[in-house]
Amino acid sequence: MDGVAVRDISALWHTIGIVGGVIFYGRFYVQWIASERAGRSVMPLLFWYMSSVGSVLLVGYSVATQSPLGALGQNFNLVVYGRNLIHIWREKGTLTRRRRHLVHGTILLVGIPAIYLLGRVWLSEYQHTQAQPPEVARRVWFWLAIGAVGQALFAARFLLQWAATEMKRRSVVPPAFWYLSLLASALQAATFFQRREWVFAIGMAATIVIYLRNIWLVRKAGDEGQEASA
């Protein structure tokens, strides 16, 4: 493959990454606008559509650019987004067998290859650091560890949200979701900035103010239970 073709493919993947980032991180601005209009923290249906589409695009981008943390962040979440859509459709009376099969089929078709590719990306990172001086390798894995802790907290927030949703059998968001989001976003933003992975770094940093605003709205409303989805 010649240099021009390689540059074209690289440009295509970066375009996909930017579009995916705008959709994925822009979902929280949609959520912010909906919350301001409602006067309390709410989660609009569009949030879950944008989450699903943005996540699929960022999976491809993460693998193409060999971003270990980026790839790690998009695997589990797709299941959560799909299950929230199913519960929202059920509550609205619009859930059909076709929609259910479409969501679960998409999760399997995207999720299983994504897990395999995640392993390949992390293996590639390991092989790359093996060829680096020890101090460089230690720095790389130190920052990846910080990012991984942040991603674990991100996964925990959606695991918590998913558990609450399955128990209530409707899409709900507990207040703890926003506190975990704030801490996780700060840790991951630091790692992405250090690694100069700008799509993820800017996206993470841009959501911090929204998490703070949702925490304020939740505390203002005195929500002790769970926030209803809009």
For residue 143, the Cα-to-chain-centroid distance in whole angstroms is: 19
CA atoms within 13 A on the CB side of 132: 14
The tokens describing 86, both together, are 């199913």
DSSP assignment of 181-206: HHHHHHHHHHHHHHHT-HHHHHHHHH
CA atoms within 13 A on the CB side of 31: 28
Distances (CA, A) of 144 to 7, 149, 174: 27, 9, 28
What is the pTM for the complete model shown? 0.85
C-alpha 70/C-alpha 58 separation (Å) is 8
Number of structural domains (the chain) is: 1
Given a contact cutoff of 8 angstroms between Cβ atoms, the answer to whether 81 and 51 are in contact is yes
pLDDT in tens, the chain (230 residues): 566 677 778 889 999 999 999 999 999 999 999 999 988 888 899 999 999 999 989 989 999 999 998 888 777 778 889 888 998 999 889 999 999 999 989 888 887 888 888 899 999 999 999 989 999 999 999 999 999 999 999 888 888 888 888 888 888 888 899 999 999 999 999 999 999 999 999 999 999 999 999 999 888 877 654 444 55
DSSP string, 94-146: ---HHHHHHHHHHHHHHHHHHHHHHHHHHHHHHHHHHTS-HHHHHHHHHHHHH
Q: By the 8 A CB rule, do 82 and 107 touch?
A: yes
Indicate the DSSP class of residue 154: H
pLDDT at 226: 45
Using CA atoms, how far apart are residues 88 and 107, in angstroms rounded to an integer? Answer: 17
By residue range, what is the domain housing residue 171? Answer: 3-228
Q: Looking at residue 225, what is its pLDDT?
A: 44
- Identify the bridge partners of residue 229 per DSSP, sorted by sequence position: 43
